[in-house]
Amino acid sequence: MRELKLKRVYRHFKGDYYLVEDLAHDSETGRAYVVYRKLYGDGGLWIRPLDMFLGEVDKVKYPDASQTYRFELQEIDSVAGH
């Protein structure tokens, strides 16, 4: 399985960007969830199961998707040169 990077920006295969805030666990099941924030609109906070967040795009349902994975890490260069 791919590794999740906290406090980094990911691009959803439909095009929008999200900041991964943290990883949380369900107190009943122990299942891991990614806590992430929309980087558009109201900046809402969302959760999604870790395996789904890191999973591949369903190419049957979305045959025209250009990304391999549902969310892909973005390498963003500093505009200030840092």
Per-position pLDDT tens, the chain of length 82: 589 999 999 999 999 999 999 999 999 999 999 999 999 999 999 999 999 999 999 999 999 999 999 999 999 999 998 7
The model carries a pTM of: 0.91
Give the burial class of 18: count Cβ atoms within 10 A of its Cβ; 0-12 exposed, 13-18 middle, 19 or more buried: buried
Q: Residue 58 carries which DSSP code? A: -
Q: What is the pLDDT of residue 2?
A: 84
Which amino acid is present at 74? Q
Q: Could you give the CA distance from residue 16 to residue 70 in angstroms, rounded to a whole number? A: 11
Which amino acid is present at 55? G
Q: What is the pLDDT of residue 1?
A: 59
Q: Are 32 and 47 a contacting pair, CB within 8 Å? A: no
